[in-house]
């Protein structure tokens, strides 16, 4: 469902005038003209906020979930949003920043029926889908992105006191290689990946506190993934920055390179 622009209020140039100096005007115009798909509006809501505040105006928002009270500690929602569809609540909140954005709402989330269209109609695809719920869809997204030039799939994780992010494209490492699987493997093989295998790359060179929480998850001592606002916001900032660098034509490393920030390791250990 396409959500049209609201009645014009503050013009684009005025709204993002303080970006200029860091960005050139022509770079800001590229941001304005770039189409972004945010798949998963939990942690993805924080990325969406930073993207809209950076000047992106064309967004796809995909999620099947509703806002719950425990989301408010880290996601871009408010008590008024509890019980609402995340896509609709996020659209409403983003328009409080810039009423002139254009959004496409995908309440059915990401599935095998819409992946091809999502990739075809987007320049940047941000995978914010919880990794334990949609591995098959994530693999299909990565394979679809590999078919095209100049399309990028950005994947991230906020982990304890830090964040990690990586970028897949036609020329990057494949997602199969990242997980240690053979090329174009059957999707059922993803179901056999253990939680240790899925997260092992992210825990390399990790702080002791990151490993502590990781071990609690491996041992099933937690039935949820613990997250705090400061690291979700950090991860959002990393992904939004990567998006802007890609638009600016900067040569930034792609997968298997993992960009890694771990405040606990850097400041405590």
Given a contact cutoff of 8 angstroms between Cβ atoms, the answer to whether 16 and 105 are in contact is no
Domain count of the fold of the chain: 1
Integer Rg of the chain from CA: 18
Interval 111-160: pLDDT, tens = 999 999 999 999 999 999 986 678 889 999 999 999 999 999 999 989 89
What CATH number is given to the structural domain containing 27?
Answer: 3.40.50.720
Pairwise CA distance, residues 30 & 46, whole Å = 21
What are the backbone angles phi and psi of residue 142, rounded to the nearest 5°?
-60, -40
Q: The domain containing residue 181 runs over which residues?
A: 2-267
**Confidence at 198, pLDDT banded by 50, 70, 90:** confident
Full DSSP string of 21-71: TTB-HHHHHHHHH-EEEEE-SSHHHHHHHHHHHHT--EEEEE---B--GGG
Paired residues of 231 in beta bridges:
none
Paired residues of 157 in beta bridges:
164
Pairwise CA distance, residues 168 & 217, whole Å = 26
Alpha carbon 1 to chain centroid distance?
Answer: 21
Interval 203-254: pLDDT, tens = 778 899 988 988 888 788 988 889 999 999 999 999 999 999 999 999 999 9
**Confidence at 191, pLDDT banded by 50, 70, 90:** confident
Query: Whole-model pTM?
Result: 0.93
Given a contact cutoff of 8 angstroms between Cβ atoms, the answer to whether 40 and 127 are in contact is yes
């Amino acid at each position: 469902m396409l959500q049209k622009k609201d009645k014009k209020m503050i013009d684009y140039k005025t709204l993002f005038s303080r970006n200029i100096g860091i960005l050139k005007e022509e770079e800001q115009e590229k941001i304005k003209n770039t189409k972004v798909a945010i798949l998963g509006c939990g942690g993805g809501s924080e990325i969406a906020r930073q993207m809209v505040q950076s000047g992106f105006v064309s967004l796809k928002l995909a999620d099947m979930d509703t806002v719950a009270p425990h989301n408010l500690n880290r996601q871009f929602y408010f008590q008024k949003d509890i019980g609402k569809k995340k896509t609709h609540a996020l659209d409403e909140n983003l328009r409080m920043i810039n009423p002139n954005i254009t959004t496409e709402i995908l309440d059915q989330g990401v599935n095998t029926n819409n992946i091809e269209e999502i990739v075809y109609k987007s320049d940047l695809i941000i995978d914010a889908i919880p990794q334990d719920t949609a591995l098959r869809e994530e693999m299909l997204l990565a394979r679809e992105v590999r078919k095209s030039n100049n399309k990028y799939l950005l994947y991230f994780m906020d982990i304890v006191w830090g964040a990690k992010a990586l970028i897949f494209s036609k020329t990057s490492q494949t997602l199969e290689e990242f997980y240690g699987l053979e090329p174009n493997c059957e999707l059922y093989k993803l179901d056999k990946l253990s939680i240790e295998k899925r997260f092992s790359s992210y825990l390399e060179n990790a702080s002791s506190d990151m490993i502590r929480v990781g071990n609690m998850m491996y041992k099933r001592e937690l039935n949820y993934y613990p997250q705090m606002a400061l690291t979700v916001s950090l991860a959002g900032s990393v992904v939004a920055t990567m998006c802007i660098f890609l638009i600016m034509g900067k040569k930034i490393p792609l997968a298997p390179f993992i960009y890694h920030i771990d405040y606990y390791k850097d400041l405590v250990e």
